[in-house]
A = this chain, B = another copy of it.
């Protein structure tokens, strides 16, 4: 079966906020209603909800039925899909498969996370659920700490200076200035980043994405339906998920995410596209160094030279390879289980020329990379203007 027969026909995004004052259900319903309204459909056949931590942080599971009820659509098939910070991306994968299966026609894919009603230590413990509890989390290392190991090794191995890596958050914070739904509207400089408080050496505050509440949603339909419903159906050219050994200690190499390579290879193979066909990219920059590494692992730069793309201005909106044009995880925000869906909603707006001040000129192909754990799950999607 060809991958080319699913399209995105509607998108919705709640603004990402450090503290939304809304419940999980309120957040999800806000994004889902916006997506349904945007699509113009009335009937939803099935729903997939991406979320990582609702059990741990809200004592709440069963988000499928909860959200279907919250939307006033009780009855529809609905369930939760989880792969740590890639929960949104894998929810999309489940939704795409549902449409391709022929069992569901109009599918809502949503992601939601609420991090604000818990203490930072509790959320820090929650994020470590992405790693092996018995063999790694019990050592006391935090998720930032593990990423600091990667940053340290990346800097050593490729002799890259921290200020080159810090270009990534600077780019994201700049782009988010134009995104009204971004968590942060604050331009920063390289110096701001390098002088921000140390979190886990060498990672500083501005190297790290923040805690936030958010929800995003998409409506999917078969392409032949989509062309009847909208003038700008955005085709899902590929939906690929790959894993890697869960834990860093199991890897041969710290500075390459094999999961990214596997997923992107699969996505390009399925879509018959190549890196040079991509006009705009959404990258999972949970930490600055991961943004740089992703440029390499996805095939846009050689290993060790990802930062050069930024230095040359190529990743700006008017550059050769615009990256995180809405602000990325660093500045749009990273409400964990929703992030992958935000990326896809933003790409859809780009490709249908509805990105307003965040618009990249003449974008027809967009790629998103959503990472769970320390590269342990990677979802790559390629969207294309039909």
Contact = CB atoms under 8 A, between A and B. Distances in A.
- Copies of this chain, how many? 2
Contact of A101 (B23, B101, B129, B250): B101
Interface string A88-126: 001001101110111110000000000000000000011
A215 to B, nearest CB: 16
A235 interface: no
Secondary structure of the A contact surface, majority rule: mixed
Contact of A100 (B68, B101, B129, B242): B101
A248 to B, nearest CB: 12
A87 B219 CA distance: 24
A183 B352 CA distance: 56
A377 B64 CA distance: 8
A23 B134 contact: yes
A62 B130 contact: yes
A82 interface: yes
A64 B377 CA distance: 8
B101 A246 contact: no
A64 B243 contact: yes
Contacts of A131: 62
Contacts of A82: 61-64, 79-82
Interface string A316-329: 00000000000000
A81 B80 contact: yes
A76 B23 contact: no
A62 B129 contact: yes
A133 B60 contact: yes
Interface stretch (A51-59, A188-196, A278-286, A359-367): A51-59
| Chain B CB within 10 Å, residue with most, of A84, A93, A246 | A246
Contact of A247 (B53, B60, B69, B130): B69
Interface in A231-263: 239-247, 250, 258-259, 262
Given A52-B55, A65-B372, A80-B81, 17 more contacts: A23-B134, A55-B56, A56-B56, A62-B84, A65-B244, A65-B246, A65-B376, A65-B377, A66-B246, A69-B246, A77-B240, A77-B243, A79-B82, A79-B90, A79-B94, A81-B82, A100-B100
Interface of A: 1, 3, 23, 25, 46, 52-53, 55-56, 58-66, 68-69, 74-84, 86, 90, 93-94, 96-98, 100-104, 125-126, 128-134, 137, 239-247, 250, 258-259, 262, 372-373, 376-377
